[in-house]
Amino acid sequence: MSTASTRAVTTYGTRRVEVLGPTSARLVFRRELMGPLWIRGIFTKSFQALSGLASVSATVERYREPGVDFDLVFTWRLL
pLDDT at residue 64, as a whole number: 81
Of residues 14 and 10, more confidently modeled: 14
**Architecture category of domain 3-77 in CATH:** 2-Layer Sandwich (3.30)
pLDDT in tens, 47-69: 888 887 768 889 998 888 766 88
Global pTM reads 0.74
Amino acid at 54: A
pLDDT in tens, 20-35: 999 999 999 888 877 7
For the chain, the domains span 3-77
Q: Report whether 17 contacts 46 (CB < 8 A).
A: no
Instruction: For Cα atoms 4, 57, 53, give the angle at the middle one, nearest 5 degrees.
Output: 80
Residue 3 gets which letter from DSSP?
H
